[in-house]
Structure 1
Amino acid sequence: MSSFKIVSRRSEERGNADHEWLKTFHTFSFAMYQDNEHSHFGHLRVLNEDRVQPHTGFGTHGHREFEIFSYVVKGELEHRDSMGNVEVLKRGDVQMTSAGTGIRHSEKAHGEKQVHFLQIWATPNRNNLPPQYYTRHFTDEEKSNKWVHVVAPVTADGVSDKRDATGPAPVHAPVSVFATILSPGSSLSHTIPKPFLGNSSKAFIHVIQTSGYNPGQASGGQISLSGDKAPATELREGDGAYMTAPPGTELTVTNTGDTNVEMLLFDVE
């Protein structure tokens, strides 16, 4: 028996709401969607896949003691906050807000098109930090059939806490995020790292719903997850999977469909 375990999080089982101005999926408990079996995964607390209609969005509201980042898939996202930051984020941009002792911000669709983005929250490993804001940009070419490190702990080697530096956006949590756009027939491997505490490591993968909003059974692009003699698991757009494994386990992701697949991979504690 393999000690590498994969538990699917199917797209149609996620929390889902259509507010007309906002079409959203919740992998973990959020707002009106509450599920004790899917409330968090280690320090990973929120993974929402949002589509916001033009001229609408999330009005000014407050946060504290969360690490909040947005991964823009399509369209443009306008960010404003109480730290004085005003920015329009586009495809390939990753924006990180470390809320710390408290910030207020708004996130709205910019321009005449819908914006599709992933809103991700992590719980920090230290409280009472001063609020901070960072942006990073990663091209499709950089992500093509390669893992690109888009978010990493602020204490990791090579991570800069400058607002517009290159490399991963810093996070005050034991969370690393990798992005890729995998072409049909291609495979990527990833070695699951050792946690600071415990003997079992955690990872989560999310297949982005790039072909369009679909509240039903997942369709579109398709991947296969395998590793350490565990049976392969098939995922499609909108699907995710929880993974637990001994440190050093090699995960293999293969595009088994006929279209490119964009996905995020999380190493978490």
Structure 2
Amino acid sequence: MSEIKVVPRFSQDRGNADHGWLKTFHTFSFAMYHDMNHERYGALRVINEDRVASHTGFGTHSHREFEIFSYVVEGELEHKDSMGNVEVLKRGDIQLTSAGTGISHSEKAHGDQPVHFLQIWSLPTTSRLQPKYFTRHFSDAEKQDAWVRVVASVNAEGVQKDLREGSKQGEGPAPVQSPLTMYATLLSPRKSLNLAVKGMKGYVHVVMRSGYNEGPATGATIQISGQNLKEGDGAYLQVPLGSDVVVENVGDRVAEVILFDLE
């Protein structure tokens, strides 16, 4: 069986900016950050790791023809949109907005604490869809040393695609109009996990849990096919057909890992 090819995307090489109210990293070209070598990967177009100061955030703005999801790491994220959805998202929550023909929304830190979340965009396979909004909740206990499918293609097995309007309605992954599946885990030291991916491309990201860091990555450490990745690091994966992705925690603390199967 052929070896999985791992092309690291080290944290210090990502685009990043400190705007005071917002500290952000960009895996792909975004806003004022442009890198022709990192524009997208499969259906993935944006992976931003954002920290928003308390009582601030992204004011009302518009999107169309993107699938936009937020994975809350710490703090509380207040969401409001033009479909009438108003919700405060907490750790373990994932919110997905299928922008379709167009929506307007705001995303702000709720309460007196900052919020740390991943903002992810993907490209839909069908244009001019009706905008929709979904939320799901996945506890730390569910993710402990296990892969949890938090987002999946709308047509994938077990996906409830008609429940919406917030309030964590429905079970299983949030339905995305893109050919991807997003998994999450909290991997303990000296533990490893296998994942049989469907596609031949993947992307992995280690969440920067131990604090904002513009320099070389530190903290929790995982290994894939001999490549070490620390908090904030990611990697492009090229997966031979029939191969499993094996992620091992080789550090001394729990690693929060996000893995995309790009079908």
Q: TM-score normalized by structure 2? A: 0.97
Q: Which runs of 5+ in 1 are unaligned?
A: 196-200, 227-231
Query: Which residue does the alignment assign to 1:141?
Result: 141
Pairwise CA distance, 1:192: 2.0
SS of the counterpart of 1:142? helix
Within the alignment, does 1:63 sit opposite 2:68 as a pair?
no
2:191 partner amino acid: S
Within the alignment, does 1:113 sit opposite 2:113 as a pair?
yes
1:191 partner amino acid: A
Query: Which residue does the alignment assign to 2:150?
Result: 150
Identity %: 61
Query: Which residue does the alignment assign to 2:215?
Result: 216
SS of the counterpart of 1:107? strand
CA–CA distance in 1 between the matches of 2:241 and 2:151?
20
SS of the counterpart of 1:38? coil
CA–CA distance in 2 between the matches of 1:27 and 1:240?
8
Q: Mark the CA change 1:158 to 1:119 in structure 2 (over 3 Å): closer, same or farther.
A: same
Instruction: Say how many residue pairs are matched.
Output: 258
2:223 partner amino acid: S
2:93 partner amino acid: D
Whether the 8 Å CA contact 2:182–2:259 is kept in 1: the answer is yes
> Which residue, 241, 262, 269 being the options, matches 2:235?
241
Within the alignment, does 1:167 sit opposite 2:196 as a pair?
no
Query: Which residue does the alignment assign to 1:96?
Result: 96
Query: Which residue does the alignment assign to 1:29?
Result: 29
CA–CA distance in 1 between the matches of 2:79 and 2:203?
27
Whether the 8 Å CA contact 2:152–2:174 is kept in 1: the answer is yes
Within the alignment, does 1:202 sit opposite 2:201 as a pair?
yes
Pairwise CA distance, 1:3: 4.9
Query: Which residue does the alignment assign to 1:198?
Result: none
Q: Which runs of 5+ in 2 are unaligned?
A: none
Query: Which residue does the alignment assign to 1:47?
Result: 47
Deviation above 2 Å: which 4+ runs of structure 1?
1-4
Query: Which residue does the alignment assign to 2:196?
Result: 191
2:75 partner amino acid: G
1:94 partner amino acid: I
1:184 partner amino acid: P
CA–CA distance in 2 between the matches of 1:192 and 1:89?
29
- For residues 69-89 of structure 1, the C-alpha deviation after alignment (integer angstroms, 9 at most, x for no partner) is 000000000000000000000
CA–CA distance in 2 between the matches of 1:248 and 1:83?
42
Pairwise CA distance, 1:245: 1.7
Whether the 8 Å CA contact 2:2–2:240 is kept in 1: the answer is no
CA–CA distance in 2 between the matches of 1:167 and 1:71?
15
Pairwise CA distance, 1:248: 1.5
SS of the counterpart of 2:124? coil
> Which residue, 255, 258, 261 being the options, matches 2:252?
258
1:176 partner amino acid: T
CA–CA distance in 2 between the matches of 1:237 and 1:80?
30
Across the aligned residues of Structure 1 and Structure 2, the Cα RMSD in angstroms comes to: 0.9
CA–CA distance in 2 between the matches of 1:131 and 1:210?
32
CA–CA distance in 1 between the matches of 2:238 and 2:246?
14
SS of the counterpart of 2:12? helix
User: Is the deviation greater in 246-255 or in 7-16?
Assistant: 246-255
SS of the counterpart of 1:113? coil
